[in-house]
Structure 1
């Protein structure tokens, strides 16, 4: 595998930013590492970080590079700070950055596939919210999305992180029912003629976001969205996420040809 720390200028943000990228590399002799490369542009997982983290955190807290080696997929991990993947009310246009600019600029730097069936998005906590927001907003671009302990209900974010919520979304009235609300996005997608991406959602039963996850699960199931939901004992911590990202990678509907 190739590991690239990429610093670049973002037009959407109006500043320089960073992403960490893992690229497949065919190797027949590297000890302890099974690897795979497809004979086409790389399938890609956009892997999103949580509220207090950055683009390096998945590498620092898990063995994500080792986990994806045998799958032949690239992983793109952007930095978005405490933005909640929003075009912030008081801040920067991180939604435009992640949903529009990031895939385009990453594909200009690296041989990444632009086909829907080769593109996936996942994240934890704030990043789980971001992953579903991206996939539900752009079902024509992503085959699947996964949320690990996601901040699924922005109304609960307003109560727990009021300052971050205000900077990202403004008031509760502005946010709930808007394009920043996963419940609204799910309802809108269900009512449209678009094919929904495959969705995977998990949360530990001791997690402070457990109830919000149950609420979104019930909403998605009532709408008939293609959701796989799993829960087990676990908290809002990296021991849980390290285990569950491996489950996500097993679940991804990767093309094998």
Structure 2
């Protein structure tokens, strides 16, 4: 596998953005794992960081490069600051960047990466779990499957939000906190919109540690997805909101992405 650190200019954000990319590469190693590259139609995972992370954190804290070598898959890991994968009220359009502009940049710079829905995936942790779920719900036509690990996928509990950052931060992201529910940033609203649209829905995977404060949110979201008769897998295991859990479960996510759907 090849690991690339890419500095791109975002016309949407009007700033330089760092993106780390793992690409399949043909290697013949005497020590280690040999891999096979591909010249075209490489499947791709958009892998999103959480609060406090950036484009480098998945590579630094997990064995994602080693795990993905078995699947001939590219991994795109962008930096989106603390923008919560949302078009913020302070005029930083992180949602437009991640959902529209980033795939265009990826296909321009890496033409071997697929543009086929059936080979395109998204995953993330915590804030990134919210972002991945949001991609699956709001851009369902672009993704075969999405995965949320320890995702902040229920935004109705304002008191819980305020234990993480102060009110000014959240208002900068979402606007008035009493207006999050039922808005385009509310996963439950996006779920209703997806069902009503009759667009093709991706497969959904949610996992969370049983000692994680966000465990009830993942349980609840999985329940709501099942109520709408969407294809959802919910798995749990011992663990907190930490990299021990995420390193273990991103390997499971890759396995799940590559399972044959019914």
**TM-score interval, normalised by the smaller of the two chains:** over 0.9
Q: Which moved more, 1:13-22 or 1:27-36?
A: 27-36
| Number of residue equivalences | 255
Aligned match of 1:56? 56
1:66 corresponds to:
66
Aligned twin of 2:124: 123
Q: Report if aligned partners of 1:190, 1:224 keep a CA contact under 8 Å in 2.
A: no
Higher mean C-alpha deviation, range 173-182 or range 131-140: 173-182
Partner deviation per Cα, 1:103-137 (whole Å, 9 max, x = no partner): 00011001211000110000000000000101111
Q: Alpha-carbon deviations, 1:11-41, whole Å to 9, x = none?
A: 0001111100000001232521142334632
SS, match of residue 76 in structure 2: strand
Alignment of 1:70-219 (within 5 A): 70-110=70-110, 111-156=112-157, 158-160=161-163, 161=165, 162-219=167-224
Question: Given the two structures, how large is their TM-score scaled by the length of structure 2?
Answer: 0.93
Deviations 1:198-255 (A, max 9, x none): 0100011110111211221221111111100001121000000000000000000378
More deviation in 154-163 or 58-67? 154-163
Counterparts of 1:227 and 1:79, CA distance in 2 = 27
Give 1:214-229 correspondences, 5 Å limit: 214-229=219-234
Distance 2:29 2:257 in 1: 27
Gaps of 5+ in 2: none
Return the alpha-carbon distance in structure 2 between the equivalents of residues 60 and 193 of structure 1: 40
Shift of 1:67: 0.7
Contact 1:45 1:119 in 2 (8 A): yes
In the TM superposition, what is the alpha-carbon distance from 1:89 to its structure 2 partner? 0.9
Provide the rounded CA distance (Å) in 2 between the counterparts of 1:164 and 1:172.
11
User: 1:91 offset after TM fit, Å?
Assistant: 4.5
- For residues 120-160 of structure 1, give each alpha carbon's deviation from its aligned partner in whole angstroms, at most 9, with x where no partner exists: 00000000000010111111110000000000012236333
Q: Please identify, of 117-126 and 147-156, the stretch whose mean Cα deviation from structure 2 is larger.
A: 147-156
More divergent stretch after superposition (109-118 vs 156-165): 156-165
Does the CA contact (< 8 Å) of 1:54 and 1:80 recur in 2?
yes
Q: How far apart are residue 63 of structure 1 and its match?
A: 0.8
For residues 60 and 29 of structure 1, what CA distance do their matches in structure 2 show?
Answer: 23
TM-score by length of 1: 0.95
Q: In 1, are the aligned partners of 2:219 and 2:234 still within 8 Å (CA)? A: no
SS at match of 1:89: coil
**Secondary structure of 1:242's match?**
helix
